[in-house]
Amino acid sequence: MSIEKLTKNAISLLKNLIETQSFSSEEERTALLIEGWFTENEIPFQRTKNNVWATNKYFDESKPTMLLNSHHDTVHPNSAYTNDPFKAIVKDGKLYGLGSNDAGGCLVSLLATFTHFYQQENLKYNLVIVASAEEESSGPNGLNSMLAIIPHIDVAIVGEPTLMNLAVAEKGLVVFDAIVEGTPSHAAHPNNNNSIYNTINVLQWFKDFKFDKTSKALGDVKMTVTQINAGSQHNVVPAHVDLVVDVRVNDAYSNQEIATILQEKSPCTKITPRSLRLNSSAISTEHDLVKAGIAMGRETYGSPTLSDQACLSCQSLKLGPGDSTRSHSANEFIYLAEIEEGIEIYVELLNRVIV
């Protein structure tokens, strides 16, 4: 099938995906649409829960394997929508609708690319494509659950909106629950150990603290206090204040190292990570994928946003049509030209690397 026909079919699939609700953990119906793509293109596939996946026709276990991945779940629509988020609307070259940019455009572009290469013999890499679930919620039944099921992966392209530039690194994430303690008392009595007042210095510490190691691709670790909760009534000084701290980790640290540093140095009574599994990720700028992309005129950068790269231990490149700044926004959209360009660039990139 020609690239033009694949592109037309990919855009049609994206319109159907937009008009089919697929909140995280509720992707059953969009998984059926993706099954339909494989069926129509006579490609054998497998489905594990709401993850749909396939390998190229001439899969050879003696060769390295490249993963093509993007997700078909969405967040709930932003309350500021003026369009119907579940209506695929084309206007002025833009395709509007929930999930159009994040990450439906990437997913259908990768499906078209995989289909283009599916029947080719003697590829340097095997191809595995996974249309995955639960990316937006970092849930237990997404790409992370597929790594023990699909063939071993040596390198990955993760489809997220990057304007088709090369995100050669991505920050990891650790969310901490922290406690600042004090002495509970009646508000009418003197109290020099008020947990809320104690929090003032703690907040200043978080604001001022700097992690020593920086990253060429990702810059500094970014730490932000994002939630505060304390007290139950006006005349009671609470025993403690609860904080939530969001830490975006560069590739100079593991998540465990960040946790150790904060547990040793922070002035909180207690600080506990919710999870350490969403690590930073990167790919060498000397990898053939990156060198090929640079030769095609694509720029490299480090991404501050999280994706399913976080669950991969292999080298991975984040690359896809669309613009990350539109993700989760009201009246989300992707340009049709971005999808057309995305498929062309994906195909040319893989032609330079795997053919």
Q: What are the tens digits of pLDDT across the range 8-58?
A: 999 999 999 999 999 999 999 999 999 999 999 999 999 999 999 999 999
Instruction: Give pLDDT tens digits for 295-328.
Output: 999 999 999 888 999 999 999 999 999 999 999 9
Separation between Cα atoms, residue 352 and residue 355, nearest integer Å: 7
Instruction: Determine which helix (DSSP H) or strand (DSSP E) holds 69, and give its type and residue range.
Output: strand 65-71
Q: Classify 355 as helix, strand or coil.
A: coil
DSSP assignment string, 115-177: HHHTT-SS-SSEEEEEEES-TTTT-TTSHHHHTTTSPPPSEEEE---STT-EEEEE-EEEEEE
Enumerate residues 6+ apart whose C-beta is below 8 A from 285. 168, 291, 294, 300
Q: Which residues pair with 54 in a beta bridge?
A: 129
Query: How high is the pLDDT of residue 132?
Result: 98
Helix (H) or strand (E) holding 351: helix 336-353
CB atoms under 10 Å from CB of 259, counted, come to 19
Which of the residues in the chain have pLDDT under 70? none
Helix axes 105-117, 336-353, angle to 10 degrees: 40
Q: What is the pTM of this model?
A: 0.89
pLDDT, residue 257, reads: 97
DSSP run (H or E) holding 66 = strand 65-71
pLDDT of residue 1: 84
- Picking from 240, 256, 311, the residue whose alpha carbon sits closest to that of residue 281 is 311
pLDDT in the model for residue 92 = 97
Q: Cα separation of 95 and 88, whole Å?
A: 7
CB 222 within 8 A of CB 163: no
Torsion sign, CA atoms 122, 123, 126, 130:
negative
